[in-house]
Structure 1
Amino acid sequence: MDRITTQAPALVLRPWDPADAVDLVGLCQDPALRRWTNTPVDDEAGAVRWIQEQQRGRAAGHRFAFAIVESRATSSEGRLAGHMVLKNVTPGGASAEVGYWTAAHARGRGVASRALRALTDWAFTTFAGDGLARLELLHQVDNAASCRVAQKSGYELATLLPAAPPAFPRDGHLHIRSRSAQVSALVDATRR
């Protein structure tokens, strides 16, 4: 449960660590990231608090946050490339939510979609016994890049959601990926 890996070019999804704080501050200065997320990181102390919040969610079993790290051929980890999270996990709950963001240097290279597919596989495998059957992905309606990532990762657009300020200040899209679609994709892949 600590690490998830993707195929080449390799990514590692691992729990956030306090040692990530300095890099996290740098990534969170990106204006595009600030526009699309509510990650309140302005300095190292804020980064440490944010990482501790992710760790508390993992310990409580309802929020599983991962740092996306680009893997290098010469070592197990390279540069921090983003964030992936499975949240609102409840025992016996049929649905949970996924979220993500990528660093400016990682955008446009398929990092978010590869990491999202890996998280999706992990979530449906890890929580299948608890009844997890549906993952939801929400993004603001004007975030076309997130819409493309959702669609590339097999999340179907389900509906338009009205704005719900302050957490969701603009109208949004709700994308859904069901476990049955996940199983069908795996069966199709084994037939090839």
Structure 2
Amino acid sequence: MRPFEDADAPALIEAYRDATLRRFTRTPVGDAEEAAHWLRLQEEGRAAGTRYSFAVLDGAELVANVALKYPTPGGETAEVGYWTAAPARGRGVAPRAVEALTAWAFATFAEGGLRRIDLLHQVDNPASCRVAEKAGYPFVELLPPFPPFPLDGHRHSRKWLDEPEPRRSE
């Protein structure tokens, strides 16, 4: 995992060609201009301390994105978000990336007050439910629709000092 770089633009465009990825993400990336905008948003979020987005690589290949959305620097809660490029799905990339981000987030921000990280997804995304469970984020509650997402959602959470459940084989 590493912060995104401008050189990641072509790989982002390729990843976003996948209809499933586009369905569950908010910011379109269909061309060089949109990729530059997406990368700028990641950089601005990091500079502001509100979003820490990482490229997940397998060798030189971009296989996923994982991000800590930290709406209130110094606050008690944050959210983890992620996507996996279509060719990397089913290989355990997302759970490992979420686990790594979770460990990093608590190591970096718990002293400043971070106590809980939420993983949110729509009810029609069972793959995200499996990722949450494999990454040690138990289901907590059903959430009502929240724009721009039109369906009910799930909230899974990890608390500081919680140990994840042992991972099942992939």
Q: What is the TM-score with the length of structure 2 in the denominator? A: 0.93
What is residue 5 of structure 1 aligned with on the other side?
A: none
Whole-Å separation in 2 of the counterparts to 1:70 and 1:39: 24
**Rg larger in 1 or in 2?**
1
Matched positions, count: 166
Comparing 36-45 with 93-102, which one deviates more in the overlay?
36-45
The answer to whether the aligner puts 1:174 opposite 2:151 as a matched pair is no
What is residue 61 of structure 1 aligned with on the other side?
A: 49
Secondary structure at the residue paired with 2:64? strand
Deviation at 1:36, TM superposition (A): 1.5
What is residue 122 of structure 2 aligned with on the other side?
A: 140
Deviations 1:78-102 (A, max 9, x none): 2000110001242331110000000
Contact 1:28–1:39 (8 Å) recurs in 2? no
Unaligned runs of 5+ in 1: 1-12, 72-77
Deviation at 1:120, TM superposition (A): 0.3
Whole-Å separation in 1 of the counterparts to 2:160 and 2:71: 15
Contact 2:74–2:109 (8 Å) recurs in 1? no
Whole-Å separation in 2 of the counterparts to 1:31 and 1:57: 26
Whole-Å separation in 2 of the counterparts to 1:150 and 1:28: 22
What is residue 37 of structure 2 aligned with on the other side?
A: 49
Unaligned runs of 5+ in 2: none
What is residue 31 of structure 1 aligned with on the other side?
A: 19
Deviations 1:62-114 (A, max 9, x none): 1100111113xxxxxx2000110001242331110000000001100000000
Superposition RMSD on alpha carbons, in Å? 1.5
